[in-house]
Amino acid sequence: MAEPFHIGFLLFPNLTQLDFTGPLQVLARLPGAKLHLVAKTKGPVETDCGPFLLADTDFNDCPKLDMLCVPGGFGIDQAMQDADTIAFVKRQAEGARYVTSVCTGAFILGAAGLLKGKRATTHWAWHSHLARVGAEPVKARVVRDGNLFTGGGVTAGIDFALTITAEIAGESVARAIQLGIEYDPAPPFDSGAPDRAQPETLEICERRYAGRVADFEAALAAALG
């Protein structure tokens, strides 16, 4: 019997729910996958849209992971300043076959020193800050640099998960999972990227994110010392 492939998702308060559940839905179907929902303490973790997720293990009890997956969300401001969280990420990354993030989860990897000299991506509104953690910013839905996989904003987590599934189990398995979840996006508007969105749409988003980005900048400065 093949050994289980241990995948750990880092959970922290105020994470973006789809950053986590998008990849989860794909990676749960990876043959041999053993999933671990890891937080500083076991129990409920509130997301940015209200519902709670249930962490089934904590940093001390988490087994050695084959894949570490770090979602994003506004809660990264606190998570990347938490010494226990960063120590856990560093420890697991040392032995993992794959180190991954979705959206602004990249900055937790960055705060752990794992993006230095690496090509990486993140949510478009935070993308320009990747250089501050030593990364080479790349504008793409999914970016690979060695065993590091980073996904863009929120929905790019599904693309990331299918990409890494193909790497691990082969393209035919990834294609079958894509069909199984009927991932066939056909959005009603072509506004999913800043270079295609109408100017007024981009302005609304930038105005909405302005305060959040300012808070993030201060938190990142504190995290990097």
Q: Indicate if the pLDDT at residue 110 is higher than 90.
A: yes
% the chain with pLDDT above 90: 98
The CA distance from 188 to 104, in Å, is: 25
Residue among 17, 145, 29 nearest 7 (CA): 29
Q: Which domain holds residue 107?
A: 5-224
| 3-class DSSP state of 188 | coil
Rounded to two decimals, the pTM is 0.97
Q: Give the count of domains, the chain.
A: 1
Q: What is the pLDDT of residues 204-216, one digit of tens each?
A: 999 999 999 999 9
Question: How high does pLDDT run on average in the chain?
Answer: 97
103 is catalytic: yes
Q: What is the pLDDT of residues 128-167, one digit of tens each?
A: 999 999 999 999 999 999 999 999 999 999 999 999 999 9
Burial class (CB in 10 A: 0-12, 13-18, 19+), 172: exposed
Beta bridge partners of 67: 7, 98
Q: What is the pLDDT of residues 122-136, one digit of tens each?
A: 999 999 999 999 999
Q: Indicate if the pLDDT at residue 1 is higher than 70.
A: no
Residue 123 · residue 100 · CB < 8 Å:
no
Summarize the confidence of residues 54-78 as an average pLDDT. Answer: 98
Beta bridge partners of 152: none
In this predicted structure, what is the pLDDT of residue 2? 73
Summarize the confidence of residues 52-66 as an average pLDDT. Answer: 97
Count CB atoms within 10 A of the CB of residue 3: 8
Question: Any idea what the CATH number is for the domain that residue 145 is in?
Answer: 3.40.50.880
Provide CB contacts within 8 A for 81, sequence distance 6+.
111, 219, 222, 223
Residue among 121, 187, 185, 115 nearest 153 (CA): 121
| 3-class DSSP state of 3 | coil
Residue 81 · residue 219 · CB < 8 Å:
yes
Catalytic residue among 49, 62, 103, 205: 103
